[in-house]
């Protein structure tokens, strides 16, 4: 984060550059919710028919392993769709990430075992995989080796993953491109393949996450005599289940934040011996036809055509339907919703679907899991710091914390680093309880200072959601007053420079009246005010809008804007010189109803959430998108086809910096410097 001081002189001085590490007060894992899905060429949908707005990551399956050269190849029949996969999807969702999956259930495990057995063949595989991914514009690679089956293969897979990660990092450094993602599809249960033959430590160290295949646990081929739940989340009979598989992976040492839960968009059909006996575990004699596999769209068609009865079983977390002697076990909306809740409760990274072509024409399952995972987005990305409700102390477990300041100052010795505590996903009830008593406030304050000093930070940034009651507001005032006194006292005792003490407030929806402004003015060195996220596709799905408007639209009923928020705080008593204006390094994506109507407030059908500035500039280049600047509200936007993005580009940022100078504010800062495009915004 970079801030500039706004002085009254014509040549303003500059505030010391400040970098903030944001740590959340919670106990969740992960680095961002994964809403993934595999696509296969023969899966019932063309790439152009995919609606990627329901996904954060889409995996293109499969590239092949040539058992002669040990190189990754794409078949001639798949080459046309694979080469345009990313471009086609990003026209509809510029923020979606694509991965090329290698292998699959139809590949030969012995070929992967042979490739991984020698350094030279591993190198051939790794180098070719990176080249194929880059040549076809994928953002990552996914390994689907089904399955390593002994200790030797386990060891060799560990070597492969480490060397692969090293090669990806080296390629990124040389090319200047973002490092490729690296993931793997792995067995979801000992029922499928023994988990003990996976090198868990190497997986945790080198993969961004793993897709745990918690399905195909019970099929007509393996269990022909009784109907079964193909992908049960729970199994009170003590047999295999999704929970059993996930729990074992975690016990083996894989962090929950590395796990994406597998969801089948298909089921299996059994042939009942007696149409009147149609429950779970009813007598049957194998599959209704073939191996029994049937996609979700065909299941819904069967239910409609045959007036089939449907049942949800909450004990096993499975759905089934039946008509005559045909019985189908599958996952419908109730099952997948329960599984997403399980993922949230167990702090998993997200989910992936196999395979998205099996969803129905309305994308029923994809919509269900996507909407359910909105709450998962609010619970991930917070494993760096935990807030212990029993003691109200802070603890950090991220190794990068201890080296953060040193790493930053190697490039800029004058930079100051701050540890940000809290965030929009913090537990408000826990924080309220902490601020209620002097004893618990002291525990929080002492541990926060200790954490900052032990990790060489220069200050603390308190990012707590506003109090909502009069007593909460008073307790918050006590907290910051006592915290400032403690910071001053610690400096005198330790004879070290005083820790900076600042605050971040989230003002689009919570105004200054919620805060003890007088105490904030006295205690904080500055207050950063979020001046963005006023309009989003979730809040305003029917029309495009300026996410971070500086000024409200004239004659509009909605007067929310950066100027309105800043003015509100100043009227409440916060001095201009204490205000740092928060600027966004991200925008929001809407889907236009009509590509020819593409201005501000054009009709839209929702959107796909936020997108970083560097991704926006890439979208503009790749799609030759048109760009526009609106000087009245001060916003930029771009559009291509039915994709419309509202954001701040250099023109908007320049206007806002000038606004901050004119109002004699302390400076400005960006929400996430990592989302910038090679410092283009930060250098404005």
366 and 421 inside one domain: no
Same domain, yes or no: 122 and 161: yes
pLDDT confidence band for 623 (50 / 70 / 90): confident
Closest residue by Cα to residue 404 from 672, 27, 20: 20
Query: Which CATH number belongs to the domain containing residue 507 in this structure?
Result: 3.20.20.80
Instruction: Report the C-alpha dihedral over residues 538, 542, 543, 546, rounded to 10 degrees.
Output: -10
Lowest mean pLDDT among 145-159, 316-330, 386-400, 431-445: 386-400
Do 196 and 311 lie in one domain? The reply is yes
Regarding whether 496 and 607 lie in a shared domain, the answer is no
Domain assignment present for 25: no
| Residue numbers annotated as active site | 146
Q: What per-residue confidence (pLDDT) applies to 427?
A: 54
Rounded mean pLDDT, 372-396 = 45
Residues 387 and 313 in one domain: no
Q: Which of 378, 400, 416 is the last residue of a domain?
A: 378
Q: Kindly state whether residue 4 falls inside one of the protein's structural domains.
A: no
pLDDT tens across 228-249, in order? 999 999 998 878 999 999 999 9
Token pair, residue 374, equals 């909105």
Helix then strand then coil, in percent of the chain rounded to 5, is 35, 25, 40
Q: Looking at the structure, do residues 121 and 189 belong to the same domain, yes or no?
A: yes
Give the range of the structural domain holding residue 564, as residue numbers without chain letter. Answer: 538-568+575-683
User: Is there a domain that residue 23 lies in?
Assistant: no
Q: Are 149 and 197 in contact (CB under 8 A)?
A: yes
Would residue 14 count as lying in a domain? no
| Least confident span in 104-108, 323-327, 405-409, 511-515 | 511-515
Q: How many helices (H) and strands (E) does the chain have?
A: 19, 29
Same domain, residue pair 232 and 158: yes
**Inter-residue contact 105 to 620 (CB < 8 Å):** no
Residue 27 lies in a domain: no
Q: Is residue 644 part of a domain?
A: yes
Indicate the residue among 339, 356, 378 that finishes a domain. 378
CATH number of the domain where residue 595 is located: 3.10.50.10
Dihedral of CA 74/76/78/82: which sign? positive
CB contact at 8 A, 103 and 143: yes
* pLDDT tens per residue across span 411-459: 778 788 888 887 654 556 677 788 899 998 999 999 999 989 998 999 9
Confidence of residue 33 (pLDDT cuts 50, 70, 90): confident
Q: Tell whether 493 and 560 lie within a shared domain.
A: no
Residue 263 and residue 406 share a domain: no
| Alpha carbons 430 and 481: distance in angstroms, whole number | 20
Structure tokens at 607: 């959107």
- Specify whether 347 is located in the same domain as 423: no
Q: How many domains does the chain have?
A: 3
Supply the pLDDT for residue 393: 58
Residue 84 lies in a domain: yes
Which of 323, 357, 378 marks a domain boundary?
378
340-356 exposure pattern, b = at least 16 Cβ within 10 A, e = fewer: bebbbebbbbbbbbbbb
Spatial contact of 630 and 574, defined as CB atoms under 8 Å apart? no
Does the residue 9 lie in any domain?
A: no
- Do residues 503 and 613 share a domain? no
Pull the structure tokens for residue 248: 């074992």
The predicted-structure confidence for 251-299, as pLDDT tens digits, reads as follows: 999 999 899 999 999 999 999 999 999 999 999 999 999 999 999 999 9
Q: Which of 19-33, 39-53, 69-83 has the lowest mean pLDDT?
A: 19-33
Q: Are residues 293 and 185 in the same domain?
A: yes
Please tell me what DSSP assigns to residue 347.
Answer: T
């Amino acid at each position: 984060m970079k801030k500039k001081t706004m002085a009254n002189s014509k040549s303003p001085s500059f505030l010391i550059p400040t970098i903030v590490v944001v740590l959340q007060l919670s106990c969740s894992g992960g680095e961002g919710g994964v809403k993934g899905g595999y696509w296969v060429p023969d899966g019932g949908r063309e790439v152009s028919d995919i609606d990627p707005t329901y996904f954060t990551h889409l995996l293109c399956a499969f590239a092949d392993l040539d058992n002669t050269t040990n190189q990754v190849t794409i078949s001639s029949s798949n080459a046309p769709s694979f080469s345009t996969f990313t471009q086609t999807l990003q026209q509809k969702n510029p923020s979606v990430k694509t991965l090329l999956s290698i292998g699959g259930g139809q590949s030969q495990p012995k070929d992967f075992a042979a490739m991984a057995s020698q350094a030279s063949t591993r190198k051939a595989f790794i180098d070719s995989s990176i080249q194929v991914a880059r040549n076809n514009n994928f953002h990552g690679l996914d390994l689907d080796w089904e399955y390593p089956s002994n200790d030797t293969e386990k060891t060799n897979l560990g070597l492969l993953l480490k060397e692969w990660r090293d090669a990806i990092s080296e390629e990124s450094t040389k090319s200047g491109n973002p490092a490729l993602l690296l993931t793997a599809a792995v067995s979801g249960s000992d029922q499928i393949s023994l988990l003990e033959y996976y090198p868990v430590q190497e997986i945790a160290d080198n993969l961004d996450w793993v897709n745990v295949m918690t399905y195909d646990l019970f099929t007509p081929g393996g269990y022909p005599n009784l109907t079964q739940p193909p992908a049960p989340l729970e199994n009170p009979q003590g047999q295999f289940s999704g929970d059993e598989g996930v729990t074992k992976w975690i016990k083996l040492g894989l962090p929950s934040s590395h796990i994406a839960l597998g969801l089948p968009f298909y089921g299996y059909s059994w042939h009942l011996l007696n149409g009147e006996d149609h429950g779970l575990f009813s007598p049957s004699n194998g599959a209704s036809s073939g191996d029994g596999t049937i996609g979700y769209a065909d299941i819904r068609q069967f239910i409609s055509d045959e007036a089939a009865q449907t049942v949800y079983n909450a004990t096993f977390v499975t759905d089934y339907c039946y008509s005559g002697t045909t019985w189908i076990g599958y996952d419908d909306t109730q099952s997948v919703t329960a599984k997403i809740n399980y993922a949230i409760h167990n702090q998993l990274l997200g989910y992936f679907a196999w395979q998205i072509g099996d969803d129905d024409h309305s994308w029923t399952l994809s919509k269900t899991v996507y909407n359910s995972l909105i709450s998962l987005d609010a619970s991930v990305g917070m494993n760096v710091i935990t807030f212990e409700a029993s003691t109200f102390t802070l603890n950090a477990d991220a190794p990068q914390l201890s080296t953060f300041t040193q790493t930053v100052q190697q490039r800029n010795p004058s930079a100051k680093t701050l540890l940000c505590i809290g965030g929009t996903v913090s537990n408000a009830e826990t924080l309220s309880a902490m601020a209620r008593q002097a004893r618990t406030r002291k525990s929080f304050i002492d541990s926060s200072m200790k954490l900052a000093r032990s990790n060489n930070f220069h200050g603390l940034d308190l990012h707590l959601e506003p109090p909502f009651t009069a007593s909460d507001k008073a307790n918050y005032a006590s907290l910051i007053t006592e915290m400032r006194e403690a910071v001053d006292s610690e400096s005198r005792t330790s004879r070290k420079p005083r820790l900076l003490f600042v605050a971040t407030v989230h003002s689009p929806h919570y105004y200054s009246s919620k805060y003890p402004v007088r105490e904030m003015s006295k205690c904080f060195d500055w207050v950063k005010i979020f001046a963005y996220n006023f309009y989003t596709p979730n809040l305003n799905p029917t029309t495009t809008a300026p996410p971070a408007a500086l000024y409200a639209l004239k004659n509009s009923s909605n007067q929310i804007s950066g100027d309105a928020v800043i003015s509100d705080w100043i009227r409440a008593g916060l001095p201009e010189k204490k205000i740092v204006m928060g600027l966004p390094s991200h925008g929001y994506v809407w889907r236009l109803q009509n590509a020819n109507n593409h201005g501000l407030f054009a009709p839209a059908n929702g959107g796909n959430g936020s997108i970083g500035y560097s991704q926006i500039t890439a979208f503009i280049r790749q799609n030759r998108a048109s760009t526009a600047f609106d000087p009245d509200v001060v916003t930029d936007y771009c559009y291509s086809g039915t994709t419309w993005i509202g954001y701040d580009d250099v023109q908007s940022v320049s206007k806002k910096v000038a606004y901050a100078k004119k109002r004699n504010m302390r400076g400005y800062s960006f929400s996430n410097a990592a989302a910038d495009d090679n410092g283009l915004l930060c250098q404005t």
